[in-house]
Amino acid sequence: MSAQLLKQFISSLQQDVQRLDQLNQLLEQQYELMSQRESAQLQQLNQQSLQLMTALELSHNERDTLLQQFGLQNNRDGMRQLVSRLPAPVQHGTRQLLQELTLKARLCHAQNEKSGKLLASQRQLMQKLTGMHNRTSYPAMPL
């Protein structure tokens, strides 16, 4: 196992923890902007969120490639095998990073769900106010 590749792998985990912190903050701001119907600011915030999610996806794909270079499967089992092969101090720190990454991803997911519920309730209100009865179609919205 190459020390340089291992450093790259762990650094990738650290960067994604930071990215998820940023994404969670953006998702919290998104919720506030959605509740205030600030569409111009929301559009800019959504672009920032997309950039972070793209960076997270690229980082995840790079880690999958690194796992394969280590001769491991690019899944949860491969990750466990990698961690189990690390020296004790590095193993402990890496486990903590992975737990933190999982927790922060769950927080982002929960925040996104909260925003989705807000959007659905706003949509229901608009349907009631406008008499729009087709609940399967969405109005055209710029992304």
Scanning the structure block, which residue is given the tokens 């569409």? 39
pTM here? 0.81
In a domain, 140, yes or no: no
The total number of structural domains in the chain stands at: 1
C-alpha angle 119-104-45 in degrees, rounded to nearest 5: 45
In a domain, 130, yes or no: no
What are 5-62's pLDDT values in tens digits? 999 999 999 999 999 999 999 999 999 998 888 888 989 999 999 999 999 999 999 9
What are 78-128's pLDDT values in tens digits? 999 999 999 898 999 999 999 999 999 999 999 999 988 887 887 777 777
In a domain, 3, yes or no: no
Q: Which domain holds residue 71?
A: 16-123
CB 93 within 8 A of CB 86: no
In a domain, 115, yes or no: yes
* CATH number where 72 lies: 1.20.58.300
